[in-house]
Copies of this chain bind each other. A is one copy, B any other.
Amino acid sequence: MTKYNPITPAILEQLQKTVGEEYTLIQQQITEEYGHDAATKNDKPQYPEVVILPKDTGEIAKIIKLANQYLIPVTPRGGGSGLAGGAVALYGGILLDLARMNKIIHLDREAQYIVVEPSVRTSDLQATAYQQGFLYAGDPCSNDQCVIAGNIATNAGGNRAVKYGVTADQVYSLEIVTPLGEIVTIGSRLKKNATGYNLPRLLAGSEGTLGIVTKATLKLQPLAPFNPNYLVVMPDLQGVVALVKEVLADTLLDPLSLELIDIKTAKDIEGYQNYPVFGNPVGDCLIVQWEAYSKEEISIRKKRLEEIAKKQGSLVVKAIDGDIIWPARRIWGKAIEAKNPLRFSEDLVVPVDKINEFIDILEDLSQKWTFEFRIAGHAGDGNMHLAIIPQPENTGWQTALPLLRQELYAQTYEIGGRLSGEHGIGFKRKQTLATLADPIELLLMKSIKMAFDPNSILNPGKIFDMEAV
């Protein structure tokens, strides 16, 4: 790891000159929230030496050049809602809070795209698109906290990836500041491009280690006139999984979302919201949504869904209000936490045709290690968000948890899965990644990092440590 230098009074003065004194926070001005993200909120805060709130791309470029000159680490920060510690300043230095760069610059109705600054909240982006008759397809569950640059940094997936792909699939082009402080626009508003390497696809999911996104040009979809939602209740998880496969194989249905919620989580949500969203469920739940262009289409598809579900042994199939089911889906984590303060999260992802094996793995491990697994899974794309909860009788859970996780990861990789579907690696999962990833694959990634950021100043200690290169 590069040896970083402290921010001296002289350097601080230069930073203040660059962005203005009021946007250069030090000491008591650095509030507690800057010490963690959503993944580390119960940990000891890790504070930067300075928080900087730049107003534009030019200021960021100047700061990054200074950081290279004096070897000071820079951690970019968006909504602070990350679930891997990606926005935490592990080595002090500068925390670059992009909060002031939060404007929607342009929405082009004819060409169906939108240009935004990095700190536009995802729900604001969605709402702006909606008001103009468009869908912005990215939809992480934390859409009211996260911002678009964070979505790009983790390549967030969300609820509509089954139809529209992940955040990277929504990106036409990005203006970035490189780790050496250069401003460059990568990519273009094209459906095809074979003009050199695909840099936007590399930046998306690089967790702020290869560049700071300062502007994004994103795709919009025409808004479908109808977006009906359905709740299907099945006798068990394997029933839900079998149904998901059938729905995906059916060429008529073309779902926008397929969300699995296990029965206990559904009940916890009902308790938390004090409302029988899932109708006091007698089994595990699947939320199905699609885009429809006519009422006929809706009724034809609903019939098909009912047929398929019935054949698979469904207990309930019913239309449900999106304004009720989606907020319920989004707060699953809080609802579980309210009843189970001790819960540990995972963001594993497996091939969709292996979800049944994954459920078997969870059931075996839960028995073996006396833990309970809860699932809010993006079942249509295999991204299985888990809450791992020690059973009350499990007094030795602290020892058991790392062993359980080790087995869970190994078995997930065995069926072709990976450690993170959309939350990223950050620093929380980097040790695990180091043991699970193909060493050559990891070496290729590190070589890119070194090529882009020879001084290792941009978001160091995330995804992997550079000592090992």
> Which A residues fall within an 8 A CB radius of B?
110-111, 154-157, 161-162, 165-166, 168, 178, 182-186, 188-199, 201-202, 204-206, 210, 222, 224, 249, 251-252, 293, 347, 349-353, 378, 380-383, 416-425, 433, 437-438, 440-442, 444-445, 447-448, 450-452, 463-464
Contact = CB atoms under 8 A, between A and B. Distances in A.
Contacts of A191: 161-162, 165, 349, 352, 380-383
A352 B188 CA distance: 12
A198 B351 contact: no
A-B pairs with lowest CB-CB distance, top 4: A201-B201, A191-B381, A451-B451, A184-B440
A222 B202 contact: no
Contacts of A156: 194
Given A186-B444, A189-B416, A447-B452, A194 B351 contact: no
Contact of A205 (B183, B197, B450): B197
Contact of A111 (B110, B184, B351, B464): B351
Copies per assembly: 2
Given A190-B421, A381-B191, A417-B190, A155 B198 contact: yes
A222 B424 CA distance: 31
Given A190-B421, A194-B422, 7 more contacts: A184-B441, A185-B441, A186-B441, A190-B416, A191-B383, A193-B349, A193-B418
Contact of A190 (B186, B192, B205, B350): B350
B452 A418 contact: no
B194 A423 contact: yes
Contact of A381 (B110, B178, B192, B199): B192
Nearest to A354: B111
Task: Give the dominant DSSP class at A's interface.
Answer: loop
- Which of A185, A350, A418, A437 counts the most B-chain CB atoms under 10 A from its CB? A418
B418 A188 contact: yes
Contacts of A416: 188-190
Nearest to A420: B194
A425 B192 contact: no
Contacts of A417: 188, 190
5 contacts: A162-B191, A188-B351, A190-B382, A190-B417, A191-B383
A437 B347 CA distance: 38
Contacts of A448: 197, 202, 448, 451
Contact of A444 (B184, B195, B293, B433): B184
Contact of A450 (B222, B251, B424, B451): B451
A232 B190 CA distance: 25
Contacts of A204: 198
Nearest to A185: B438
A39 to B, nearest CB: 13
Contacts of A450: 451
A412 to B, nearest CB: 11
A133 to B, nearest CB: 11
A464 B418 CA distance: 34
A206 B461 CA distance: 28
Contacts of A222: 249, 251
Contacts of A168: 198, 201
A60 B120 CA distance: 48
Contacts of A347: 194
Nearest to A209: B197
A197 B351 contact: no
A232 B154 CA distance: 44
B382 A194 contact: no
